Structure 1
Amino acid sequence: MNKQKQKTQSIITWRFALVCGVMLTVFMTLVARAAFLQVIEPDKAIEENDKRTVRVEKLNVQRGMIFDRNGKELAVSVPVVSVYADPLAIDKALAKKVLRKARKEGEDYKALEQNDAELKIRKQAWYDDELRWKELADVLRLKPENVDERLRGDPSRRFVYLKRQVTAVVANYIRQMRLPGVHLLDESKRFYPSGEVTAHMIGVTDIDGKGIEGVERMFDSALTGTAGKRTIRKDAQGREVQVLSEEQRVEPEDVYLSIDLRIQAIAYRALKSAVLSYKATSGSAIVVDVHTGEILALVNSPSFNPNDLSTAAPYKRRNRAMTDLFEPGSTLKPLAVLAGLNYGAVKATDTIDTYPGWMNLSGGLVKDTRNNGELSLREILKISSNMGVAKISQMLPKEYFINLYQQVGFGEPTGSNMIGESAGLFYPNRRWSNFEIATLSYGYAVSVSTAQMARLYAMFGAGGILRPLTIVKQDEIPEGKRIFSEQDTHAVVEMMESVFERGGTARNVKVDGYRAAGKTGTSEKAVAGGYGDEYVGYFAGVAPVSDPRLAVVVMVNEPAGDVYYGGQTAGPAFAEIMSNALRILNVAPDKERVAYISGADNDA
C-alpha cells in the first residue's frame, strides 16, 4: 500500500512539475516575444497597430472667389459629389459571397479558395447576375460596359473614378444602394454666375479645379490655397481618442478684378448686337479707365458658356481682344498728327495741301477718295485723309517716327499679363521706304490687338501718359511714362471731336450727353500675296473731351455685305458703351442731351 501510495504521489509530483515547466516555458516565450516586439523590434507592432487605429483626415480648402471691382461674384465654388470605386474591395466582397454560397451547398470552400481560376469565373458570374451593378450604370448615365471595365478590368486597383460631379439626387440614390466598394467623395465645382458675359476674361478650370484659361490660370496658385492634414487615433468603435498631429490648411486668396460687371454687361450686349446685325465673323470691345489703365470691360463675340463646355468650340473660347491681330487702319491717324506736333514739324493751326488727292512714294500710290485740297489738321482727322497724315509723316525723320510707334507700345504686350496675349507685329529695325512710312501713318505695316489700341487711346485720354493695362483693381494710380506733352495731346483729342460733326466719318454716331473724341478705322485684311475682300471695322475714342475718363475701342471683324466701314459697324456699339458706362460711373455730362440717330452713310 505504501509503495502504491508513493508511486501515485510521484506521478502527481511529476505531472505538476511538467505542467509548471510547460507553463513557465509558455510564459517565458510570451515574455521573450513581448520583449522582442516591444524592445528589439517595436516598429512592426507599432505599424500594425497604426493600421488599425490611426487615420489621416484631409482638411480640404475650396478655391478662392473672383470678384469684380464692386464685390460682385464672378467665380464661386459650389459643393458637389463624385462617385469612385475600390475594385479590390469589390473583388473581395464578391469572393466572400461565392465562398459563403459554396459552404452552404456543402462544397469544399477551402479548396475553392485556393483554386484561383475557378474562383475568378464564379466571381465574374456573380457580378454579372447581380442587377445592382447594371442599375449603377443607368443611374450614372454611363454605358454598362464602361462601368464593368472600371470595376472589374483590374481588380488590384484601389481607386477609380466612376463619374465626377454628380447631382445631390444621384449621390443620395447611390448611397442608398449600399454597393460594396463604391463610395462618394465630397468635392467642389466652379460656377460662373455671369456666364458668357465674362467667359473670356475669367476663363475656366478643369474638372480637378486647376485653372486652365484666363484669370483662373493667371492666379491659380493664389486661388488654390493648400489643404491641411489631421492625423488622429480612433478606438474600436471609431471614436476619436487622440490627435497625433495637425497641419493647418492655408486658405486661398480672393481676387478682385478691375472689371465693372455693369459696364461689362453693357459692352457685351452692344458688341453682340453689332456682330449679329452685320453678320460679322467676330468682334471685340475694351473699356479702359484712362487715369489708371484698369480694364473696366473686356468682351468678345462669339462667346461661350463656361458652365457647360460641351458646346464651347475652340474658336469661341479664344480671347480675341488679346490674341487676334489686325492692321488698325485710320484709327492710327491721330498718332501721326500728334507725332508731327510733338516733333514741331506742324502746328495745331497749320494746313496741309493734299492736292491733287494722290502721290507716288517709292513706287507706291497714296491717295484719298477725292481731291480735298488744303486741309487743317482737324479736317484731316474729320474726313480721314490718307494724304494729310502721309504728308505729315514725310516731314519727320524715319527713325523718330518709327521709334514713336515703339514707345506707345506696338510690338510689346500691354502689361495686363493675360494668358495668350500677343505682342503684335511691328519690326522697327528693318529698312523702311517712304511709301511704307506713309502707310504706317494711316494704320498699315503694323498689326495690333484690340487691347493695344485701347492702351494707345487711354494714353490720349491721360494727356500723353502711357500706362500698362491691368485687370486687377488698383488702390493707387500707377506710375506711367510721359510720351507726349499734355498740350499737344489735348489739341489732338479736340481735333478728334470733329469726327462726330457734320461731314465727319462718324457724323451719325452720337454719344448721348457727352462730348466724345474718336476715330473710325476700316482696314482690308491681308491674305497671301496682298489684300483680300474682307474688312475689319474699328471705332476708338475717349470721353468726355473736357476731362477724359474712359477709352473705348470696338472692333468688328469681317462684316458681311456692303456695309463694312468702322463708323457704320462699330460706331453704334461705341456710342452705346461709352454713354452708358459714363453714366454708371456718375461722370457729369459735358454737353446738351441729344438723341441717338442711326445712319448708313458713314465712312472710314
Structure 2
Amino acid sequence: MSLKKEILTRIAVVYVFFVLLGLGIIAKIIYIQFVEGHKWRAKAKVITYKDIIVTPNRGDICATDGRVLATSIPYFDLRMDLLAGGVTDSVFNANIDSLAICLSNFFKDRSRYAYKSELTNARRLAKNKRFYPVAPRKVNYIELQQIKKFPLFRLGENKGGFIPVQSNKRILPHSTMAARTIGTVNEGGVAVGVEGAFDYALKGKAGLRVHQRIPGNSWVEVKSMDQIDAEDGADVVTTIDVELQDVAEAALRKQLDKHNAEHGCAILMEVATGDIKAIANLKREDDGSYSEMYNYAIGESTEPGSTMKIPTLIALLEDGQMELEDTVNTGNGKYKIYDRTIVDSKEEGHGKISVKEVFEVSSNVGVVKLVGKYYKGRERDFIDRIYAMKLNQPLNISIPGEVAPYIKYPGDKYWSGMSLPMMSIGYELKLTPLQILTFYNAIANNGRMVKPRLVKSLVRHGQVVQSFSPEVISTSICSRSTLRKVKEVLEGVVEQGTAMNLKNPRYKIAGKTGTAQVAKGTRGYKHGGRVSYSASFAGYFPADDPKYSCIVVVNSPSNSVYYGNLVAGPIFKEISDKVYATSPEWFREVDDSGDFKEIPQAKSSSREALVEVLDELDIPFEKADKKADWVATERDSVKVELKKLNVSKKTVPNVVGMGLKDALFLLENTGLRVKFQGRGSVRSQSIQAGTKVAPGSTVFLEMSLGES
C-alpha cells in the first residue's frame, strides 16, 4: 500500500470515529433531554431550590368572655451558620471578641473566653458541623430582639450567620385553671381535653415557601407558583366563666384540704343551655397539695349513692305507685334482705314517715321498702323507667374521656336478688358526676334534658366560622305532675332535710345529698379495716326559677366527716353564693321614686360631708349652724335633724354614733390613743365626752357590730 493511501485510510478511520462519537453525543443529549429530562431537572431544582414549610399559628382557647385560657408563645433556638457567605475570616475575627462578651453577659453561664474558644473551634471544624448552637437555652421574643443587636449577629443570616429557629410553646395564662379540661396534644399525638378534641381547627393549615440558592451559598425567598400561604388555626370559644371557675376551684381546694380528701370535682352548668360555666378537678399529690391531674368530672364512673334516689322517686311516681303523702314504716333504721342489712344514717331510725320525708331525710330503708313493694317481680319495669330518663346513655360531649354509664338489666350476668334494692339507692350501677348533673339539670329545666356544652364556637380573625348550638337529649324525662312533686322534694331536702345547712334567706337551693361507700375493686367496700366514702351534693338554684345547676363530689374524705351535706354541701353553697352575688337580675329593683317608707339612719359626721350626702339622696333634713364643723344626728318620721357637736383639742369629743374613721380622726387629733372592738358605728366610749384630755391616754371604743 502506498504511503498516500495509508494516510487517507487513517484519516478516514479517525473521521468515522469522530462522526460516530458526535452522533453518540447527540443521541445522549437527546436521551437526557427527552427521556431522563424530568429526573435531572428535578435534581437541579433540589440543588438550586428548596421548599420551606411555614408553620401556622395555633389558635387560642378562650373563656366565654374572650379571655385567653390557652395560647402559644414563640421561643427560639439560636444557631450560627459558620459557613455563611458573609462570614469571612476578617469579619469573624473582627467581631468574635465583642460577640463573646455579649453572650457571656446575657446568659451568664460561662466566661467570655469560653464563648470565644468554643466559637473559634467550631468555625475551624465547620466543614463537619456547619450550624452551631450558640445559646444554652431557648429565648423568648423580647430576648431575641436584644440578641439580634449583638456584634456579627446584627448583620443578619447571610452576612452574620445568625439563625433563630422558632418553636411555639403552649401556655396557660391562668396557671392550672381548668387545665385537664383545656387539655393538651403531646408530641406522640395523644389528645386530651379541648386541645385534643378541636386540634383539627386549632392547628390551622401549613404553608409553603420556595427559597433559591444564590452565590455565596446563601438562600433567599423567591416567588413561585408552588407557594402556599399558611392558614392560622381558629380560636375555640368555650363556655367557661373565668371568675366562676376560680371560685369553684378555690372552694373545692379549701374543702379537700380541710377533710384531707383524696380528690374531688365541681361542675357548674347553666340550666337552659347546658353550658358548663365551671369544671374543677383536683387530686392530692404526695406533698399534700392539690392540682389538676385527671378529669374526674367526665372520666370517673362510680356508684353515686343517694343522688340516685331521685330517679327512683320519679319511677315510683310515674308508675302511679304512691303519693308523697303516703307513709312508710322505716322502723329502727335497719332492714334485712337475704343476708344483707340495709341501714339508715340515723342510728335509732326514723320510724313511720311520709314518702316525701323518706327522700328528704334520705332513708335507705324507706326507699328499699317502697321499691320492693311495688317492683319486686317487675324489675324490668323499674329499669325501663331508668333507661327512659336516658341515664344509661353516654352524653357524647365534645371532649374525649367520658366513661359510659353502667346500669345493668334483669337477666344480665351480674344481676342478683339484691340488684333491685341496691340500685334503687345508688349501688350496683355507675355514673360520672357530669352524667348525674345532666339529670338534675333536666329537673331544673322543667324536664328538658340538654347535652352539656363546653364549646360555643370557632372564631378566626374575629369572624365566627362554626357555632355549636345547645342540643336536646330528651324533651321530657317525666310528666309535669311528677316533676312538680320531685321539685317539692328537692326543696324539702334543703328546707327541712339532710341539707338544712345550705338554707339561706336570700335565695332557695334545691338538691339531693349523696354519701356512698366506695368499692375497692374485688376487695369490696371494706379493706384493711377501713371504709372509703364519696360525698356529693347535686342540685340547682334559685329553686323557684332555676338558672344554674351544680354538682360537687369529694372522694375519700378522711377526717371522720364524710356526709354529703357537710363535705360537698359547703362547696356548692360557696359557688352558688358567688353566682348570686354577681347576678344583679336576681335582686329586687331599687325604688327610685324618691319616697322613703322610713327615714334612713345617718351617722354623726362632718357637717359638710353629711349635708352633701343627704342632698344627693334627697333625704329631708334640718340644717345645723353653718359654723358647726361636726354634727350629731337624730331622726324622726319626716326628717334628719343635725345638731352641732362641740369639738375642742382640750376635751374628749363625743364620738358615739360616728363611723370609726371619723372617730379616730377626732380622738387622735386630741392626742389620745384609740383601741376598738367590732365594726359599724361607735356604740360607747370608755372616756366620757367633755373630760379634759390627758395626752397619751387610751380610749376604748365599742362598735355597734361584733367581730366579723
| C-alpha distance in structure 1 between counterparts of 2:226 and 2:423, whole Å | 67
Q: Which residue of 2 aligns with 1:124?
A: none
* Per-residue deviation, residues 532-581 of structure 1 (Å, max 9, x unmatched): 42211111111122122221100111112222211111111111112322
* CA distance 1:480–1:583, shift in 2 (3 Å): farther
Q: Which residue of 1 aligns with 2:685?
A: none
The CA deviation at 1:353 is 2.7
Which of 336, 341, 353 is the aligned partner of 2:329? 353
Structure 1: stretches of 5+ with no match in the other structure: 1-24, 91-95, 98-130, 305-310, 591-604
The Cα RMSD (Å) is 4.5
* CA distance 1:240–1:554, shift in 2 (3 Å): closer
Say yes or no: does 1:294 pair with 2:275. yes
Q: Which residue of 2 aligns with 1:166?
A: 139
Equivalences for residues 104-123 of structure 1 within 5 A: none
Equivalences for residues 58-137 of structure 1 within 5 A: 58-83=53-78
Q: Which residue of 2 aligns with 1:509?
A: 502
| C-alpha distance in structure 2 between counterparts of 1:283 and 1:314, whole Å | 10
After the TM superposition, which of the residue ranges 529-538 and 178-187 deviates more from structure 2? 178-187
Aligned partners of 1:525 and 1:536 also within 8 Å: yes
The CA deviation at 1:52 is 6.1
Which of 229, 241, 246 is the aligned partner of 2:208? 229
Larger Rg: 2
Say yes or no: does 1:366 pair with 2:346. no
After the TM superposition, which of the residue ranges 480-489 and 47-56 deviates more from structure 2? 47-56
Equivalences for residues 284-433 of structure 1 within 5 A: 284-302=265-283, 316-368=292-344, 369=346, 370-394=348-372, 395-396=374-375, 397-428=378-409, 429-430=412-413, 432-433=415-416
Q: Which residue of 2 aligns with 1:566?
A: 564
The CA deviation at 1:218 is 0.9
Say yes or no: does 1:190 pair with 2:170. yes
Aligned partners of 1:512 and 1:579 also within 8 Å: no
Which of 479, 483, 504 is the aligned partner of 1:485? 479
| C-alpha distance in structure 1 between counterparts of 2:167 and 2:552, whole Å | 40
After the TM superposition, which of the residue ranges 266-275 and 174-183 deviates more from structure 2? 174-183
Letter in 1 for 2:251: A
* CA distance 1:79–1:303, shift in 2 (3 Å): farther
* Per-residue deviation, residues 207-242 of structure 1 (Å, max 9, x unmatched): 69x673211011111111111113355764866664
The CA deviation at 1:493 is 1.5
* 3-state secondary structure, aligned to 1:185: strand
Aligned partners of 1:511 and 1:579 also within 8 Å: no
Which of 256, 259, 264 is the aligned partner of 1:278? 259
| C-alpha distance in structure 1 between counterparts of 2:31 and 2:152, whole Å | 40
Aligned partners of 1:230 and 1:247 also within 8 Å: yes
Q: Which residue of 2 aligns with 1:594?
A: none
Equivalences for residues 18-29 of structure 1 within 5 A: none
The CA deviation at 1:430 is 4.2
Say yes or no: does 1:252 pair with 2:246. no
Letter in 2 for 1:500: V
* 3-state secondary structure, aligned to 1:247: coil
The CA deviation at 1:371 is 3.2
| C-alpha distance in structure 1 between counterparts of 2:281 and 2:397, whole Å | 17
Say yes or no: does 1:456 pair with 2:439. yes
Letter in 2 for 1:364: R
* 3-state secondary structure, aligned to 2:535: strand
Aligned partners of 2:210 and 2:222 also within 8 Å: no
| C-alpha distance in structure 1 between counterparts of 2:511 and 2:224, whole Å | 68
Say yes or no: does 1:444 pair with 2:427. yes
* Per-residue deviation, residues 178-213 of structure 1 (Å, max 9, x unmatched): 7998842122221211221221110124369x6732
After the TM superposition, which of the residue ranges 329-338 and 426-435 deviates more from structure 2? 426-435
| C-alpha distance in structure 1 between counterparts of 2:206 and 2:52, whole Å | 10
Aligned partners of 1:53 and 1:236 also within 8 Å: no
The CA deviation at 1:484 is 0.8
The CA deviation at 1:77 is 1.6
Which structure dedicates a bigger proportion of its chain to helix?
1
Higher relative contact order (CA 8 A, sep 6+): 1
Aligned partners of 1:362 and 1:433 also within 8 Å: no
Q: Which residue of 2 aligns with 1:100?
A: none
| C-alpha distance in structure 1 between counterparts of 2:30 and 2:72, whole Å | 53
Q: Which residue of 2 aligns with 1:546?
A: 544
* 3-state secondary structure, aligned to 2:532: strand
Say yes or no: does 1:500 pair with 2:494. yes
| C-alpha distance in structure 1 between counterparts of 2:79 and 2:380, whole Å | 66
After the TM superposition, which of the residue ranges 312-321 and 197-206 deviates more from structure 2? 312-321
Q: TM-score, normalised by structure 1?
A: 0.73
* CA distance 1:513–1:315, shift in 2 (3 Å): closer
Aligned partners of 2:534 and 2:554 also within 8 Å: yes
* Per-residue deviation, residues 274-306 of structure 1 (Å, max 9, x unmatched): 1111111111011122222222211011389xx
Q: Which residue of 2 aligns with 1:102?
A: none
* Per-residue deviation, residues 153-199 of structure 1 (Å, max 9, x unmatched): x9689999998743347656876587998842122221211221221
The CA deviation at 1:50 is 3.7
Aligned partners of 2:540 and 2:546 also within 8 Å: yes
* 3-state secondary structure, aligned to 2:70: strand
Aligned partners of 2:450 and 2:470 also within 8 Å: no
Q: Which residue of 2 aligns with 1:106?
A: none
Q: Which residue of 2 aligns with 1:523?
A: 516
Tell me the matched-pair count: 516
* CA distance 1:191–1:173, shift in 2 (3 Å): same
Letter in 2 for 1:561: N
| C-alpha distance in structure 2 between counterparts of 1:140 and 1:404, whole Å | 71
Q: Which residue of 2 aligns with 1:10?
A: none
* CA distance 1:313–1:251, shift in 2 (3 Å): farther
The CA deviation at 1:84 is 6.0
Say yes or no: does 1:217 pair with 2:200. no
* CA distance 1:508–1:464, shift in 2 (3 Å): same
* 3-state secondary structure, aligned to 1:243: coil
Sequence identity percentage: 27
* CA distance 1:213–1:583, shift in 2 (3 Å): same
Q: Which residue of 1 aligns with 2:696?
A: none
Letter in 1 for 2:556: E
The CA deviation at 1:513 is 2.1
Say yes or no: does 1:199 pair with 2:179. yes
